[in-house]
Amino acid sequence: MIASVKGTRDLLPPETRAWNRVEAVAREVFALYGFDEIRTPVLETTELFVRSVGESTDIVHKEMYTFTDRGGRSVTLRPENTAGVARAYVEHALAQAGRPWKLYYIGPQFRYERPQKGRFREFRQIGAEVLGPADAATDAELLVMLFDFLRRLGFTGLSVSLNSVGTEATRPAYVEAIRAFFSSNENERALGEDDRRRLDENPLRILDSKDPAVKELVASESFPKMIDLLASLDPASDAHHRELVEHLSAARIPFKENPFLVRGLDYYTRTVFEVTAAGLGAQDAILGGGRYDRLVSDLGGPKTAGIGFAIGEDRLVGVLPQAFRSAAIDAVRPVVLIPLDRTDVAEALALAGSLRAAGIPVDLVTQAKGPRHGLRVAEKTGAALAVLLGQKEREGGTVILKDLARRSQESVLRLALAAALRARL
Ligand code: HAM
């Protein structure tokens, strides 16, 4: 037997109905906020992620599916979608349209991580990006849209973790403060090999350390906080952050400031945020996002501000409120149509056609070995209604309509069948 690749998985029915419904709601909500879909390739030039997500991040450093293609180019299965969107924005000169671009995507991403609950090597993201506007109201509206979406799925009690990671104006001072913190022997001793490399290459990355001893230090009172540097070194970012906080309060978006949130990607400037959900274990972030005002220009495009988020769809579906899940799964229940003999199949095909034309979903079971077997198959599909068609019914212009839940049956004129089914569906 050939099994699926480690860290990948098949999504089977009826679970796929929940996925489809989630995606349909995302499309509906995002359209309400003026967003349009973008679809970028799964395969990108490796250089794109090195330059955007950042060389010293875990993603680029050890989690990418990178290989040399037959033409000798280094290509990578996208580990995230923001870089691809920014590349497309530059490549198609979207800036020239002189309008903000509000784009969303739904699709698979790949990271070579150790698989565990809520963490896969192939996973799916639902994301949105706004390219152009740099103001705090844009950040606020993006979060309003996000919560609108999450609430329509039935989530309650979720809250955003919010921080500002500043800009070039604060980054060097913050990096120095982190280095100074670890220059004390005691703190330095806590660092493992990975974190020493981080301190060397990109000290901000220490804040995503998974080492418990380092995590404890980072969460301590004495650890430097970017937000403390903003007011003195970067008043514009400080004002942006305070304005965002005001907008979120006014819009009643539940949020909590978290001075230690930096996120595991290098392109962020100013606003960063995450939403976590209980019940996911260690992998509890259902989404993350932030502002990236330098990404487009770093990729060779015109100076363009940007902000976005990506929801981990696997995790989202993993904690989907039960009512939404059941409604999605129960939404489609085709009527099972069972021709009782081979000689009844042609007539059943025609009947199925006319019912479908009337908008009734029909699951035709052509290989039933008699009525009992046909009904057993119908029950196993989860159907509520079955229609049996045999010689006697054909001759009489009727069918037998079975209510599988109530275990009742009646003879119905074929002409009245569509109405009878609709009344019961
Ligand atoms: P990220 O935090 O790396 O951000 O990923 C966003 C979400 O994807 C995570 O919160 C998580 O739910 C999900 N995710 C990440 N890795 C895995 C995995 N191995 N298995 C399952 N789910 C996973 C980004 O990707 C940014 N591009 C978000 C963004 C958009 N920032 C600005 N615009």
Strands 74-77 and 408-413: what pairing? unpaired
Give, using CA atoms, the residue closest to atom 13 of ligand 1.
312
Task: Identify whether the C-beta of residue 108 lies closer than 8 Å to the C-beta of residue 8.
Answer: no
What are the start-end ranges of the H helices in 52-206? 58-62, 82-91, 136-152, 171-183, 185-189, 193-201
The greatest distance separating any two alpha carbons of the chain, rounded to the nearest whole angstrom, comes to 93
Q: Is the CB of 63 under 6 A from ligand 1?
A: no
- In angstroms, what is the span from residue 414 Cα to ligand 1's centroid? 53
What's CA 116's distance to the chain center, in Å? 18
- In angstroms, what is the span from residue 232 Cα to ligand 1's centroid? 32
DSSP letter assigned to residue 50:
I
3-state DSSP call for residue 8? Answer: coil
pLDDT 10s digit of each residue in the chain, 425 long?
A: 999 999 999 999 999 999 999 999 999 999 999 999 999 999 999 999 999 999 989 999 999 999 999 999 999 999 999 999 999 999 999 999 999 999 999 999 999 999 999 999 999 999 999 999 999 999 999 999 999 999 999 999 999 999 999 998 898 999 999 999 999 878 888 899 989 998 998 898 898 888 999 999 998 989 999 988 998 899 999 999 999 999 999 999 999 999 989 898 999 999 999 999 987 877 789 999 999 999 999 999 999 999 999 999 999 999 999 999 999 998 878 999 999 999 999 999 999 999 999 999 999 999 888 889 999 999 999 999 999 999 999 999 999 999 998 999 999 999 999 999 999 98
Indicate the helix (H) or strand (E) that contains 385: strand 385-389
Strands 285-291 and 305-312: what pairing? antiparallel
Residue 309 alpha carbon, nearest atom of ligand 1: 30
Task: Identify whether the C-beta of residue 388 lies closer than 8 Å to the C-beta of residue 338.
Answer: yes
Give, using CA atoms, the residue closest to atom 17 of ligand 1.
119
Rounded to whole angstroms, the Cα distance separating 296 from 52 reads 9
Rounded to a whole number of angstroms, the distance between the first and last alpha carbons of the chain is 41
The residues, any chain, with a CB within 8 Å of residue 202's CB and separated by 6 or more, are 54, 56, 57, 266
pLDDT of residue 368: 80
- In angstroms, what is the span from residue 310 Cα to ligand 1's centroid? 6
Q: Is the CB of 306 under 6 A from ligand 1?
A: no
In testing the pocket of ligand 1, which one of 125, 276, 314 has its CB within 8 Å of the most ligand atoms?
125
Taking alpha carbons only, the member of 293, 274, 300 closest to residue 285 is: 274
DSSP letter assigned to residue 344:
G
Indicate the helix (H) or strand (E) that contains 414: helix 414-424
Q: What is the pTM of this model?
A: 0.94
Q: Is the CB of 417 under 6 A from ligand 1?
A: no
**Tokens representing 292?**
């990236």
- In angstroms, what is the span from residue 149 Cα to ligand 1's centroid? 17
- In angstroms, what is the span from residue 383 Cα to ligand 1's centroid? 37
pLDDT of residue 20: 98
- Helices and strands in the chain: count of H runs, count of E runs: 18, 16
Q: Is the CB of 40 under 6 A from ligand 1?
A: no
3-state DSSP call for residue 127? Answer: strand
Q: Is the CB of 123 under 6 A from ligand 1?
A: yes
**Tokens representing 391?**
């010689």
Q: Is the CB of 288 under 6 A from ligand 1?
A: yes
Q: Which long-range contacts (CB under 8 A, 24 or more apart) does 182-190 make?
A: 182/206, 187/217, 190/214, 190/217
In testing the pocket of ligand 1, which one of 123, 138, 142, 291 has its CB within 8 Å of the most ligand atoms?
123
- In angstroms, what is the span from residue 315 Cα to ligand 1's centroid? 10
- In angstroms, what is the span from residue 287 Cα to ligand 1's centroid? 6
Distance of CA 77 to CAs 3, 43, 124, 268, 308, Å? 21, 5, 13, 22, 20
- How many Cβ atoms are within 10 Å of 321's Cβ, its own excluded? 13
Give, using CA atoms, the residue closest to atom 1 of ligand 1.
288
Distance of CA 231 to CAs 180, 225, 226, 261, Å? 20, 12, 10, 18
Residue 286 alpha carbon, nearest atom of ligand 1: 12
Residue carrying the six token digits 């990109």: 202
Residue carrying the six token digits 């009904």: 375
Rounded to whole angstroms, the Cα distance separating 143 from 67 reads 36
Beta bridge partners of 126: 106, 311
The residues, any chain, with a CB within 8 Å of residue 382's CB and separated by 6 or more, are 14, 333
Q: Is the CB of 82 under 6 A from ligand 1?
A: yes
Strands 65-68 and 43-45: what pairing? unpaired
pLDDT tens digits, 308-360: 999 999 999 999 999 999 999 988 789 999 999 999 999 999 999 999 999 99
Give, using CA atoms, the residue closest to atom 21 of ligand 1.
119
Q: Is the CB of 217 under 6 A from ligand 1?
A: no
